[in-house]
Homo-oligomer: A and B are copies of this chain.
Amino acid sequence: MKRVLFTPGPTEVPSEVLEAMAKPLIHHRTDEYRQYFLETTRLMQEHLATTHPVLTLSCSGSGAMEAAVVNLLSAGDQAIVVEGGKFGARWGMIAQAYGVTVHTVSVEWGRVATVEEVESALAAHPSAKVMFVTHSETSTGALFPVHDMARVAKARGVATVVDAVTSFGVYDLHFDRSDVDGLVWGSQKGMMIPPGLGFVCLSPRGWDLVKESKLPKYYWNLAKAKGALEKGDTPFTPAISLVLAARAAMLLLAKEGRDPVFARHQRNGDATRKAVRALGLSLFAEVPSNTLTAVHVPQGVDGGAVVKTMEQRYGVKIAGGQDRLKGKIFRLGHIGHYDEGDILRLVGAFEASLIDHGASAQPGAGVRAAQESFRSSKPSAAARVG
């Protein structure tokens, strides 16, 4: 039996990426490495539609979030955190750990904050310097309208930093056309490589804030990282094999093309959502993201047992809920290297396991709905952008 990851990260790693990591290690202070590193950076810039530097850090996505906080703020500064899940809450915890005063726009998990709610918070806290928002909230599967939020923040002179950990490679982030001042993401989601790299991209306004920032930093010093990047270098020894993996992955994304990548995620998301509904289940997220489909565990069904059977009997690994959602939702990930056949595998295992555990779903209904969804949608369907 094959074993395939359909978790909201880490995601499946393409064989081209595994191969890049299996080669004998090269040294990072060589022209060969510098060329690969600069090429990877350029491919990420193209993917984000930005001319601004993309900084590669050796850390998880949370490290990249911390880097954004400590480089843009000073102790005593005020920040707004938009929170509707575990990762939104993390922005607040990081900022508070560094003595930043946090004003939270909190919505029930599964909901998304509206632009109006954000506008009220901005009005109520005119001294706020930065607003931290999550694009695709991994804990709930909800997609936040970060670009609209950034627009209203900018109008009030507040910089917006977006956690794009679970949306890079899935949604068109079109950085330079947006009002977003900072993007952070990690390697193990839409980039389709193992965890261990974090990335940050700042706008010129973001870099202005870096100059004002007084929070202590050494490893996270982005100004140093920017200076080093100009020479194809990093301030500290980079996670070389992961950078070479990132190169292989970005070459795959570039070959497929930005719009086709985003459209594929839209089609995979649509098909999964339709399959879930056809099984008589309801979606958890108010505005579901194309990254993962969060589904209410139906009454009378043991959610943990469904997840376990999917893994052990069908070789398909999905995730359950985290924290307060433990046992209450399923999270079916479809970020990254998945095609129509993969989605049928995912949905097929999901419906089979549900039925194994006494759910009243109609056998075959999920897969059939997914097939119909693929058949009726154009492969080039434009993706929504939250």
Contact = CB atoms under 8 A, between A and B. Distances in A.
B237 A186 contact: yes
Contacts of A281: none
B3 A25 contact: no
Contacts of A21: 18, 21-22, 241
Contact of A60 (B7, B61, B236): B236
A18 B23 contact: yes
A53 interface: no
B239 A195 contact: yes
Nearest to A29: B319
A243 to B, nearest CB: 9
Nearest to A9: B237
A313 interface: no
A60 B240 CA distance: 11
Interface stretch (A140-148, A201-209, A213-221, A294-302): A213-221
Contacts of A12: 24-25
A317 interface: yes
A196 interface: yes
Interface string A57-93: 0111111001000000000000000000000000001
A66 B317 contact: no
Given A239-B194, A241-B194, A218 B66 contact: yes
Contacts of A24: 3, 12-13, 18
A145 B12 CA distance: 47
Contact of A10 (B13, B94, B217, B240): B240
A228 B307 CA distance: 23
A19 interface: yes
Interface in A248-270: none
A62 B242 contact: no
A252 B231 CA distance: 36
A28 interface: yes
A319 B237 CA distance: 14
Contacts of A128: none
A362 B102 CA distance: 70
A216 B18 CA distance: 37
A6 to B, nearest CB: 10
Nearest to A100: B216
A10 B25 contact: yes
A195 B3 contact: no
A58 B195 contact: yes
A375 interface: no
Interface in A179-231: 186, 188, 194-196, 215-219
Given A188-B237, A195-B240, A237-B186, A94 B218 contact: yes
Interface in A328-365: none
29 contacts: A5-B26, A5-B27, A10-B25, A10-B237, A12-B24, A13-B24, A18-B21, A18-B23, A27-B317, A30-B317, A58-B60, A58-B196, A59-B59, A59-B63, A59-B219, A60-B237, A60-B238, A63-B219, A93-B218, A97-B216, A99-B216, A186-B237, A188-B240, A194-B241, A195-B240, A196-B240, A196-B241, A216-B216, A242-B242
Interface of A: 3, 5, 7, 9-10, 12-13, 18-19, 21-30, 58-63, 66, 93-94, 97-99, 186, 188, 194-196, 215-219, 235-242, 317, 319
Given A61-B236, A215-B216, 8 more contacts: A5-B25, A5-B27, A10-B28, A21-B22, A27-B317, A60-B237, A194-B241, A196-B241
